[in-house]
């Protein structure tokens, strides 16, 4: 234990010292042919190397570069006279390539001075490419002289059969030379027969899109605008009649595929935390391509019955609104969320095609039976131009009414308060059932014949909670309306409330009653005239003035899971879809 603590302490001290001395050092990252061969086709496909995965050296800025070369000789076993270092440069198209060899004057400088030459941006790193020439017996030899007419090219080979791209080496070519002069060397690199026909492509850039163009073998390298650090990809020529045998018959199509491929994890919207299946798609796939693949996976004949929903990268949940039928062009649009790209999509299997469904409005309505103590949840699906009256007429055909002529109303309930009675002629298109509950109920007879001095008031259940020394009102349970008559005392009203809610005497005797306005309770006595409290009619939001029933919340909670909100019902719930 003591040993471990000592080790940890030493490590801590070492890191602290490193941090304090960081300004005295430069990190030099040295990429070699071996790194390119190791990474291309496995970790990377574009450009030449991931500099975070090459050998790095922490070197004092004062150290002469010639001394650093000796360290390289020890590390890689390449004598100093056989080493030639190239600076990397970022091009305008964001490609990052070896740009030019260090000059003898630069090599005579200190490491710190050299970093400043290579880096216009303030950066503590110096990135180098180590060029080593090998003889036929694979021993290092001095690098060849390089003039302005010599161009250093890097070569990748593509095999359409294996769908494999790999780094095969580099060559110096003459700017005035033509590709035909190096074809035999390229064939040799990969073991092709001398008479094999090959095609050459230049890999130009890959962000934001891939640019890879054929090289005209009749033009000189200079005419083709090839320069130091450029990448040439080559492959066997594929005759047009054989192209169909391969998914990606040539280099550009393969690079396009690699750049756009995306593994997508599909989850059922009902189980948004679990992956159901995943497969590789292309970010360029259209809406139809994606739903067809999902339908095939699910063994479904009609892809238009698939509805997809995008993923919110911040909340790690499905977005509230699904993707409309052909509402996006490509898979990339489905996965993009603000400035992030997700790899998750949610799916549903609908009972009717999505285009048809989109012409309809679907609402989930909770029906409260007038006499039975139960709630039934119904999915009402009607054309968007329909009204609330149409919803209630449709609901009447699905529920059990207390008598055939019963009239229904639709309410908006949110966190145990009634916010709205929908007018029967209101269009349903803009009604939102995602966040609040739509409740339908029979209109009681007594409410239909209100006298001039009768009032319809809101009645809510509540408990008091103390949080941070402040009393807070918490509503719960099912809110309801009650008719109160002029001159009626609390004692009279309590009799009606007890009968309506069927609460046993013993429990009801513990309940307290209060008039609440904007969350402040005024407790009432049995002799108080309740209607006197509800005289003001100009209160903003009728739901903020109500008769409160204070008692313990003893009912078992049942989650209303067929919706995305978090309300609870204290009555048995049946769901009909």
Say which CATH number the domain at 345 has: 3.10.20.90
**Residue 256 domain-assigned (yes or no):** no
CA 174-179-181 angle, 5° bins: 75
Q: What is the pLDDT of residues 105-154, one digit of tens each?
A: 999 988 888 877 665 555 568 899 999 998 888 889 899 999 999 999 99
Q: How far apart are the first and last CA of the chain?
A: 63
- The answer on 339 and 304 residing in a single domain is yes
In this prediction, residue 537 carries a pLDDT of 57
301 and 368: one domain? no
Are residues 428 and 548 both part of a single domain? yes
Judge whether residue 353 has pLDDT over 60. Answer: yes
Mean pLDDT of 155-178: 96
Q: Is the pLDDT of residue 536 over 80?
A: no
Top-confidence range, 256-270, 497-511, 550-564 = 256-270
Q: Is the confidence at residue 557, as pLDDT, over 70?
A: no
Quickly state the pLDDT bin for 18 (edges 50, 70, 90). low
Residues 211 and 178 in one domain: yes
Mean pLDDT of 238-255: 92
Residue 254 belongs to a domain: no
pLDDT at 17 over 70: no
Instruction: Count structural domains, the chain.
Output: 4
**Average of per-residue pLDDT across 492-515:** 90
The per-residue pLDDT for range 189-211, each reduced to its tens digit, is: 999 999 999 999 999 998 888 99
pLDDT given at position 68: 93
Same domain, 520 and 449: yes
Annotate 180-219 with b (16+ C-beta within 10 A) or e (fewer): eebbeebbeebebeeeeebbbbbbebbeeebebeebeeee
Is the model more confident about 307 or about 337?
A: 307
Q: Choose one of 308, 328, 356: the last residue of a domain.
A: 356
pLDDT at 562 over 50: no
Considering the domain architecture, whether residues 94 and 159 belong to the same structural domain is answered as no
Boundary residue ending a domain (91, 121, 141): 141
* Token digits of residue 23: 């300004």
Boundary (domain end) residue, out of 106, 141, 176: 141
- Arithmetic mean of pLDDT over the chain: 87
- The answer to whether residue 255 is domain-embedded is no
Residue 12, domain member (yes or no): no
Place of tokens 């090459």: 54
DSSP code string of 442-455: EPPHHHHT--TT-E
- 257 within domain boundaries: no
- Which of 241-255, 267-281, 539-553 has the lowest average pLDDT? 539-553
Look at residues 79, 74, 62, 78 and name the one whose alpha carbon lies nearest to residue 23: 62
What torsion do the CA atoms of 119, 121, 126, 128 make, to the nearest 10 degrees? -60
Q: Give the pLDDT of residue 451.
A: 80
Percent of the chain with pLDDT over 70: 91
pLDDT over 60 (residue 405): yes
Q: Of residues 261 and 448, which shows the higher confidence score?
A: 261
- Confidence band of 19 (pLDDT split at 50, 70, 90): low
In a domain, 16, yes or no: no
pLDDT of 138 reads 83
Q: Residue 192's domain spans which residues?
A: 150-249
Say how far apart CA 211 and CA 483 lie, in whole Å. 75
2 belongs to a structural domain: no
* Residue 193 domain-assigned (yes or no): yes
pLDDT at 539 exceeding the cut of 70 = no
- Give CA–CA dist 201/191, Å, rounded: 19
- Are residues 381 and 397 located together in one domain of the fold? yes
Across 2-16, 95-109, 275-289, 384-398, least confident range = 2-16
433 in the same domain as 554: yes
Contact 391, 324 (CB under 8 A): no
pTM: 0.64
Nearest CA to 375 out of 389, 364, 386, 391 is that of 364
pLDDT digits (tens, 9 = 90+) for 34-71: 999 999 999 899 999 999 999 999 988 889 999 999 99
Lowest mean pLDDT among 505-509, 517-521, 549-553: 517-521
**Which of 246-250, 445-449, 465-469 comes out lowest in average pLDDT?**
465-469
Tokens (6 digits) for 95: 């490609």
The two tokens of residue 486 are 């002029």
Residues 87, 184, single domain; the answer is no
Q: What is the mean pLDDT of residues 429-451?
A: 83
Three-state SS string over 110-144 comes to EHHHHHHHHCCCCCCEEEEEEECEECCCCCEECCC
Co-location of 88 and 31 in the same domain: yes
Same domain, 232 and 176: yes
**Nearest in space to 460 (alpha carbons), one of 502, 418, 495:** 418
Q: Do 401 and 517 sit in the same domain of this protein? A: yes
């Amino acid at each position: 234990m003591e040993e471990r603590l000592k080790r940890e302490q030493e490590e801590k001290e070492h890191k602290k010292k490193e941090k304090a001395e960081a300004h005295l050092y430069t990190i030099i990252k040295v990429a070699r042919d071996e790194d390119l061969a190791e990474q291309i086709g496995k970790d990377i496909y574009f450009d030449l190397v991931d500099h975070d995965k090459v050998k790095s050296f922490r070197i004092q800025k004062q150290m002469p570069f010639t001394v650093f070369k000796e360290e390289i000789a020890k590390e890689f076993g390449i004598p100093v006279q056989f080493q030639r270092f190239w600076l990397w440069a970022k091009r305008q198209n964001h490609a990052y390539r070896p740009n030019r060899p260090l000059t003898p004057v630069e090599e005579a400088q200190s490491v710190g001075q050299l970093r400043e030459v290579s880096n216009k941006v303030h950066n503590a790193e110096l990135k180098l490419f180590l060029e080593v020439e090998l003889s036929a017996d694979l021993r290092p030899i001095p690098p060849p002289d390089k003039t302005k007419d010599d161009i250093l090219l890097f070569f990748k080979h593509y095999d359409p059969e294996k769908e494999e791209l790999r780094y095969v080496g580099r060559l110096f070519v003459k700017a005035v030379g033509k590709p035909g002069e190096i074809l035999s060397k390229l064939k040799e690199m990969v073991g092709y027969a001398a008479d094999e026909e090959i095609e050459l492509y230049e890999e130009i850039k890959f962000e934001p899109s891939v640019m890879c163009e054929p090289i005209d073998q009749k033009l000189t390298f200079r005419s083709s605008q090839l320069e130091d650090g450029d990448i040439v990809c080559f492959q066997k020529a594929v005759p047009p009649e054989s192209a169909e045998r391969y998914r990606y018959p040539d280099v550009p199509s393969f690079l396009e595929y690699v750049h756009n491929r995306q593994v997508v994890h599909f989850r059922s919207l009902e189980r948004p935390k679990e992956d159901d299946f995943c497969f590789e798609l292309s970010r360029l796939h259209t809406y139809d391509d994606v739903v067809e693949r999902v339908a095939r996976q699910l063994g479904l004949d009609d892809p238009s019955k698939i509805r997809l929903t995008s993923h919110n990268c911040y909340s790690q949940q499905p977005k509230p609104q699904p993707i409309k039928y052909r509402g996006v062009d490509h898979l990339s649009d489905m996965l993009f969320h603000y400035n992030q790209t997700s790899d998750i999509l949610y799916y549903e299997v609908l009972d009717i095609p999505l285009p048809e469904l989109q012409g309809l409005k679907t609402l989930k309505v909770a029906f409260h039976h007038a006499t039975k103590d139960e709630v039934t949840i119904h999915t009402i699906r009607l054309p968007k131009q329909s009204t609330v009256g149409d919803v209630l007429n449709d609901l009447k055909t699905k529920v059990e009414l207390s008598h055939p002529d019963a009239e229904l109303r639709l309410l908006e309930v949110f966190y145990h308060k009634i916010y709205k009675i929908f007018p029967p002629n209101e269009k349903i298109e803009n009604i939102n059932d995602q966040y609040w509950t739509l409740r339908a109920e029979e209109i009681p007879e007594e409410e239909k014949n209100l006298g001039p001095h009768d009032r319809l008031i809101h009645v809510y259940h509540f408990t008091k909670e103390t949080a941070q020394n402040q009393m807070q009102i918490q509503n719960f349970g099912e809110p309801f309306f009650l008719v109160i008559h002029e001159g009626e005392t609390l004692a009279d009203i309590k009799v009606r409330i007890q009968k309506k809610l069927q609460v046993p005497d013993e429990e009801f005797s513990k309940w307290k009653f209060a008039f609440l306005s904007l969350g402040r309770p005024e407790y009432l006595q049995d002799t108080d005239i309740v209607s006197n409290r509800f005289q003001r009619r100009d209160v903003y939001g009728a739901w903020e003035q109500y008769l409160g029933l204070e008692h313990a919340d003893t009912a078992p909670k049942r989650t209303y899971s067929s919706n995305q909100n978090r309300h609870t019902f204290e009555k048995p719930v049946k769901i009909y879809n």
